[in-house]
Copies of this chain bind each other. A is one copy, B any other.
């Protein structure tokens, strides 16, 4: 299949691709879920549905998230606080339409998910980047930016960030939230990788603070189930949910995906998703370890990187300055690809960085890809 975002020339190993492998997409589980759903003659799933999504699906999702997020028993995730989306990209677009106006400022992390920048640009937002260290956003630097730029939104990927792999520490989460409260900034947390943790446990997600008027937490089935479902969710306090439900598209078309959501509802009700996510964790942990080992074996100390505790990516920094154009030419000759650092910068920086993904390829291809990358870097 060929798209501008997903096309790998034959013979090339594209370590930049941020997609799951086709072989990891659980077609049989979804077929079973669809059979279960159709056996119930649930025609509501085929009708215009409630703006937030069907109550049955929201209850099933809330129970799943309560367990996966280890929510306190006294404060489980509530179905009423959830709204289904067509994925995080759609949710970001909707949030921009409803809560921003052109010219507003959005603060993003440096580096950040480059395609989110496209969505902000579509809405005429001005992007200001905030620095990170190994514990994520740096509160003092963020505070200065909030004072200087009066942003409307903060967009953060707090856990296993794309591309850096960094996780915002528990203490910093509280500080960032407090800063957003104090400056009346909407904290939009993209928690798409939170459930894909391979080492230790990340701090609690912002989803567990989503009754705070400052927070909108975004989740997705794209990385824990299948991107082609185009199904995700958001958690927000009642006033925000009401504003989103009054958005013209949901007012006109109803909830985002009644049919797709009903199939995933069956998947949850049949209790098939938890085991699948556990399988993904084992698989991706092994792939991460294979990529790390290959980088050490074939590149020695040519690239610096922290071993990520979860997610899809290793964010590597060259110990010597990179010439992006020469490296791209050498990589093409070696039949390997990656994502160059400047893509993830909102200000043209990060020239010595590479994003490498360990989700798409199995171990043997990851190692062969690194072998080729080593050739390209040495030439």
Residues of A within 8 A of B (CB): 1-6, 19-20, 22-23, 25, 27, 30-31, 34-35, 38, 41-51, 54, 86-90, 92-93, 97-98, 101-102, 115-124, 222, 226-230, 245-249, 251-260, 262
Are A47 and B27 also in contact (CB < 8 A) when A248-B122, A251-B115, A256-B230 are?
no
Taken together as a complex, chains A and B put the C-alpha atoms of A42 and B262 apart, in Å, by 20
- Most chain B beta-carbon neighbours within 10 Å: one of A22, A25, A122, A246: A122
Given A22-B43, A41-B27, A248-B115: A227 in contact with B257 (beta carbons within 8 A): no
Task: Please list the 8 inter-chain residue pairs (A to B) with the smallest Cβ-Cβ separation, ordered nearest first.
Answer: A119-B248, A228-B258, A118-B248, A115-B252, A46-B226, A89-B253, A31-B38, A89-B252
**Are A50 and B1 within 8 A (Cβ)?**
yes
**Shortest distance from the beta carbon of A346 to any chain B beta carbon, whole Å:** 14
Interchain nearest-CB distance for A232 vs B (Å): 9
Q: Is the interface of A mostly helix, strand, loop or mixed?
A: helix
Residue of B nearest to A261 (CB): B228
Chain B neighbourhood of A123, CB < 8 A: 97
> For A246, what are the chain B residues with a Cβ–Cβ distance below 8 Å?
118
A54-B1, A115-B252, A120-B248 as given contacts; A227 in contact with B89, CB under 8 Å: no
**Contact call A49/B259, Cβ cutoff below 8 A:** no
User: A118-B251, A118-B252, A260-B260 given as contacts; is B97 within 8 A of A226 (CB)?
Assistant: no
- Which residues of B are found within 8 Å of A22, using beta-carbon distances? 43-44, 46-47
Q: How far is the CB of A281 from chain B (nearest CB, A)?
A: 19
Q: Which residue of B lies closest to A103 (CB)?
A: B102
Inter-chain contacts of A226 with B (CB < 8 A): 46-47, 259
Given A1-B54, A54-B1, A260-B259, do A46 and B251 touch, yes or no (CB 8 Å)?
Answer: no
Q: Are A229 and B3 in contact (CB-based, < 8 A)? A: no
Task: Please tell me if the beta carbons of B47 and A2 are within 8 angstroms of each other in the complex.
Answer: no
Docked pose: A51 CA to B35 CA in angstroms: 28
Contact call B253/A87, Cβ cutoff below 8 A: yes
| CA gap between A222 and B92 in the complex, in Å | 25
Q: A115 — which chain B residues lie within 8 A by C-beta?
A: 248, 251-252
A228 to B102, CA, bound (A): 32
* Chain B hits for A6, CB < 8 A: 47-48, 50, 254
B25 A253 Cβ-Cβ under 8 A: no
| Given A1-B54, A102-B101, A253-B89, also A48-B259 (CB < 8 A) | no
By beta carbon, the residue of chain B nearest A32 is B38
Give the distance in Å from the alpha carbon of A166 to the alpha carbon of B211 in the complex: 47
Interchain nearest-CB distance for A334 vs B (Å):
26
CB pair A27 B49 closer than 8 Å:
no
Q: Which B residues are CB-close (under 8 A) to A222?
A: 48, 253
Distance in angstroms from A17 CB to nearest chain B CB is 10
The CA of A92 and the CA of B46, in the complex, are separated in Å by 21
Partner of A248, one of B27, B35, B102, B121: B121
Chain B's closest residue to A114 (CB) is: B252
Given A93-B249, A115-B252, A122-B248: A1 and B47 interface contact (C-beta under 8 Å): yes
Contacts of A44 in B (CB 8 A): 1, 22, 228
Q: Are B254 and A227 in contact (CB under 8 A)?
A: yes
Residues of B within 8 A of A122 (CB): 97-98, 247-249
Q: A44-B1, A90-B249 are in contact. Are A30 and B19 (CB under 8 A)?
A: no
Residue of B nearest to A41 (CB): B27
Minimum Cβ distance to chain B for residue A294 (Å): 25
